[in-house]
Amino acid sequence: MTVVVPLVLGQACRSFLREFLDRRKPPFGTVSSAVLLMIIYTTFCDTFSNPSIQLDPTSLLLVVLIIFAIQISFMLLTFTFSTRSGSGFTPADTVAIVFCSTHKSLTLGIPMLKIVFAGYQHLSLISVPLLIYHPAQILLGSILVPTIKTWMNSRQKEVKLTALEPV
């Protein structure tokens, strides 16, 4: 009811309202960002205002380091597999694979946690890794964009030069 029903209803309404929405151009991007911010804010407040969370700074730092290690490992793994010879992926495909396959959103994760662990007294503690994972992927992505952009541009130039060479 929390995840699937809104998704199905949205897809069903989309076919009926497409022309109307194309004419009106509602600010879906702004609304989407505001809703995401509200979900993150309420989850953050629920998590850290809970007196039974009992999360000391050392444990929190350890969770942060583990999450960054997992995120970097996933990104390296997807990059390695998508750049292997014979994979058939273009440099642009590789960038999409690296970022899209490793990024998960709080908008899906938090409702799923609330469904799976409904009534569990330590739900706040369980949501801490997800609260850290989302900003970690944004931070790592923003740090890696210049490097990956340079790599992609150089690879695309190599592909173009190779295509121009006579066989």
What mean pLDDT is predicted for residues 119-126? 82
Q: What is the pLDDT of residues 48-60, one digit of tens each?
A: 787 777 778 898 8
pLDDT band at 11 (very low <50, low <70, confident <90, very high): confident
Residue 147: domain span: 3-163
Q: What is the pLDDT of residues 132-158, one digit of tens each?
A: 888 888 889 889 999 999 999 998 887
Number of structural domains (the chain) is 1
Q: pTM of the predicted model, to two decimals?
A: 0.69
d(CA 2, CA 41): 18
